[in-house]
Amino acid sequence: MAKRFPIAPAHPERICWGCDLYCPADDLRCGNGSDRTQHPIELMGPEWFTEPGFEDLAAPAKDPA
């Protein structure tokens, strides 16, 4: 099961969002470029998850039971 992607993290600038490792911005382990990947909230603002293509993140999580 993949990690749940946070909609509004407290400090998105401290983490690279390029893969499931969520490395600190100064320790990029995956080699996914030389710069960190920004969280969508940094690029599109606080309502980023309402943009087309992100509707599944805004929906309530299904109970696995």
Condensed to tens digits (0 to 9), the pLDDT of residues 22-47 reads 889 888 888 766 788 999 999 999 99
Q: Which tokens sit at 2? A: 């993949």
The pLDDT of residue 5 is 85
What gap in Å lies between CA 47 and CA 51, rounded to an integer? 8
| Cβ count near 11 (within 10 Å) | 8
The pLDDT of residue 8 is 92
